[in-house]
Structure 1
Amino acid sequence: MTRRYGIVGLGHRAQLYVDALAGDWSDTGTIVALCDTNRTRMAYYNTGLRLYDPAEFPDMLSTIDALIVTTVDATHAGYVCAALEAGVDVIVEKPLTTDEEGCARIAAAAARSSARLIVTFNYRYSPRNSAVREVLASGRIGQVTAVHFEWLLDTIHGADYFRRWHRERENSGGLLVHKSTHHFDLVNWWLGSSPAMVFAQAGLRFYGPDGAGVGGGPFGLDLNVDPRLKALYLDAQHEDGYIRNQDVFGDGINIDDTMSVLVRYANQAVLTYSLTAYAPREGYRVAFTGTRGRLELEVSERAWCSTEAAIDPTAGKSEEETYERLTVQEHWKPVEEIVIKQGSGGHGGGDALLLDDVFRGPGDDPLVRQAGWRDGIRSVLTGVAADRSARSGQPVQFLADGLALKPAP
């Protein structure tokens, strides 16, 4: 029997689920209802469906079997909890929520509810990240003692967070929550452990009115050249005043663009992590040192950003070289390169695997890639703890199982 789905939040990210249920996953369910604060955005996706305002959301829940949440991050907890209380399954985009209070609310609602909650951590499904999990699980490098993880966002991707609602901490929790939740979840999943203590430093160094990047390049995105972005945001702006293309060097930015984090895990492994949102290229490096050797993954997703691509979202990628390289070196042995099995589609085939898990069920997955509310909370609270530490200058400790933070002294 096919399921009835509703979507709340009809911005850019909703497209993944709309396309899935209209395409390869149409046999699993049908979208029957949409909810958003903006009627113009809902009309972009609408094909005769019932449209709901947020005030009518409880009525919408009575018409669906499962809810897909793709709203502004800070609103996730309210929609997730309401659906769980109504016995409606939930599929929610990362981050699960943005603060401790939201985590506590969701944990309580999930404990009371018989409904299922899935957090869509698509990076788990990327073939290269799955390959890391497989090698670590094989025991080839022994017990992991240290992880070094560097993530670079370039001046296309990174800058975009400072144009949109993400630029305000009260909406996104900052990049240590909104973006890094992906990365912290990967480490939690790779290690099979939970965070125990966090110390961090962070700052706004490049963007904003006093940033080092002021006047340094083409940072004005033209929404008119992309029909989809124009329809979703520029044409919808008259309803709620939301400006999708704000000045990355303007006032009102209160999130960080330069972040360094230390995490100690329950299994005593330590993580050294950094996120930079204004690099000239896009990609990441992660290295695991273990008692029997070392595993390294290096990824180049975009080697450089042209000025045309920076201002025109339809210009596509302008890279000279993209690559991914996974190597393992056991003690007293030469370096060995691990072949990464490629998939097709978004995120190296990871999106298709994720959508299978979401709409058909995970089946017998030895990598246990489907993420639930506990995974979502642990990744969010790592970012929340890092943000608190960066503001206070003090380390932040977790309570048992990484599902709550120790109160500040």
Structure 2
Amino acid sequence: MKKYAICGLSGRAFNMFIKPFLDKYHKEHSIAALLDDDPLREAVCKNRFPELCSIPFFQAEAFADMIEEVKPDAVIVAGRDDTHVRYILGALKKNIDVVTEKPMVTTVKDAAAVLEAEKASEGKVTVTFNYRYNPYHRKIKEMILEGKLGRITSVDLNWYIDTYHGASYFKRWNRMRKYSGGLSVHKSTHHFDLVNWWLDQKPQEVFAYGRLNYYGPDGEMNPKKGEARHCGTCHVKTKCRYFMRWQAGDPEDDHIKVNENQHPLYTGYRPDACIFDEEIDIEDTYAAVLKYDGGVLLNYSVLFSAPYEGYRLAINGTKGRLETKEYHAPGRVPFEVQEQTIEYFPLFESKETIRVVRQPGGHGGGDPLLLEELFSGKDPLRDYDILAGAEAGAYSIAAGEGVWRSIKEKRPIGIEELLHSRQYT
């Protein structure tokens, strides 16, 4: 029986790890300890999962005591992004394995510290990049490995986050860079890691533009400036287009909580803060170009206030091109959408349309497959690796931080410069 300590009792911890542990993986894996900054989260967790009532709870400052007392075989890190580093480094110091939510950490300084700590430790870090396991993304990886595109020359990736999901980041702690690293880290690490993995190359340099266009006090849809508000108790919410569009919420999406009854789930924190608040200090629009060490060029953009959610991808190679377009959460799209396919264009032959077998579960079916590999082992029929480690986590963070630093410093940013320069680390 392998014992785990859950560090950070977030909604993600509940749904991605604790529930599957109790439902499917309990015969060989057990939860030995719970830890969080907020003691109220213990009550919330044990109320939802009565099976854990006898499991000891530790506050964050007692992490070392927890390790000594419980002696877990591994820790699962799933709290607020900026808390990850303390648990990762603490576990590695004790030669304990770490499974961490993405982003691994929020800064290149912390990413470099994790890489160094892992080198000196018997423990290893696994980063749960679940989008790698999406069946479309695996098929794209397989097509590249089969050589169908030849040598990859360039990638175009445009990601769109709709007004429901996009606004959620600006209601919560994500809206402050000190907690999330900004959305080019918190969210775009998903996207950069996908491209890094598909290419099996490391990003070398990034140049980017970006700004806050939709949210913050100067957002054009702000119904009233100059005061802090919460959606659940806001006196001008009927004049807010974002609130009125999504006031009923989406029962299939846990990213956004606008109900005033949510705040008792945390001490001193409500996840329904106004998307037009003064304290917002991150961007909602990015456009970037990345150069890879194998010569590939990536054109990347992401928008956090789009009419629909999804992405457009094109990958060009010396033997052909592939294209795919996804509409995520079609129930939130106010028009009919087509099923996702992969269109393959050989350089001198007829186009092929590839339909991928879809799978149930979060992130396009990626979550269950990730958990299966984590807790049951690699699929013996798959001849390539998907599971990510600390180096993959670090390069995705360096790309994300490189984006906002390029915006701030108005220059190209070298990725190795970020990871290894004393200026940043």
TM-score, with normalisation over the residues of structure 2?
A: 0.87
CA offsets 1:218-270 (integer angstroms, 9 cap, x no match): 327779998x9679952134x3x112110001211001000011000000100
Corresponding residue for residue 170 of structure 1: 178
Aligned partner of 1:83: which letter? A
Asked if 1:391 corresponds to 2:418, the answer is no
- Residue 182 of structure 1 corresponds to 190
Distance 2:156 2:163 in 1: 23
Equivalent positions of 1:2-401 (< 5 A) are 2-15=1-14, 16-46=16-46, 47-48=52-53, 49-62=55-68, 63=70, 64-215=72-223, 217-219=241-243, 233-237=262-266, 239=267, 241-303=268-330, 305=332, 320-321=336-337, 323-362=339-378, 364=380, 365-399=382-416
Conserved 8 A contact 2:109-2:419: no
The total of aligned residue pairs comes to: 392
Give the secondary structure class of the aligned counterpart of 1:366: coil
Preserved CA contact (<8 Å) 1:70 1:92: yes
Distance 1:224 1:148, change over 3 A: closer
Say if 2:10 and 2:80, in contact at 8 Å, map to a contact too. Answer: no
Query: CA separation of 1:224/1:339 partners in 2, compared to 1, >3 Å: closer, same or farther?
Result: closer
**Residues of 2 paired with 1:199 and 1:10: CA distance?**
36
Greater mean deviation of Cα atoms: 344-353 or 243-252 = 344-353
Determine what percentage of the aligned residue pairs are the same residue.
35
Q: Output the amino acid matched with 2:318.
A: T
CA contact (8 A) 1:150 1:284 kept: yes
Q: Which shifted more, 71-80 or 164-173?
A: 71-80
The answer (yes or no) to whether the contact 1:94–1:178 under 8 Å persists in 2 is yes
Q: Conserved in 2, the CA contact under 8 Å of 1:396 and 1:406? A: no
Q: Structure 2 vs 1, CA of residues 223 and 145 (structure 1 numbering), >3 Å: closer, same or farther?
A: same
Give the secondary structure class of the aligned counterpart of 2:388: coil
CA contact (8 A) 1:304 1:320 kept: no
Q: How has the CA–CA distance of structure 1 residues 355 and 156 changed in structure 2, closer, same or farther, with 3 Å as cutoff?
A: same
Residue type matched to 1:391 in 2?
A: K
- Residue identity opposite 1:397 in structure 2: G
- Unpaired stretches in structure 1, ≥5 consecutive residues: 307-317
Q: Which moved more, 1:332-341 or 1:245-254?
A: 332-341
Which one is further off, 361-370 or 58-67? 361-370
- TM-superposition CA deviations, 1:306-346 (whole Å, max 9, x none): 8xxxxxxxxxxx77436312111101212111121222222
Displacement of 1:275: 0.5
Give 1:407 shift. Answer: 5.2
Displacement of 1:104 in angstroms is 1.4
Cα distance in 2 between the residues matched to 1:13 and 1:381:
24
Determine the C-alpha separation between the residues in 1 that align with 2:21 and 2:93: 25
Query: Is contact 1:44-1:232 (8 Å) kept?
Result: no
2: CA distance between counterparts of 1:137 and 1:268?
Answer: 17
Change in Cα spacing, 1:303 to 1:350, as seen in structure 2 (3 Å) is closer
Q: Distance in 1 between matches of 2:278 and 2:243?
A: 15
* Deviation sequence 1:260-317 (CA, Å, 0-9, x none): 11000000100000000000100001101111110111101135748xxxxxxxxxxx
| Aligned mates of 2:317, 2:10 — CA distance in 1 | 42
C-alpha change, 1:222 and 1:3, in structure 2 (3 Å) is farther
Q: Name the counterpart of 2:228.
A: none
Please, what TM-score do these two structures have when normalized by structure 1?
0.90
Q: Check the 8 A contact 1:219/1:248 in 2, yes or no.
A: no
- Match for 1:27: what amino acid? K
Helix, strand or coil: the match of 1:324? coil
- How many Å separate the matches in 2 of 1:154 and 1:167? 16
Q: Deviations over 1:166-196 (max 9, x none)?
A: 0000100000000000000000000010011
Instruction: Tell which deviates more after alignment, 156-165 or 358-367.
Output: 358-367
Change (3 A) 1:351 1:87: same
Q: CA RMSD for the aligned pairs?
A: 2.3
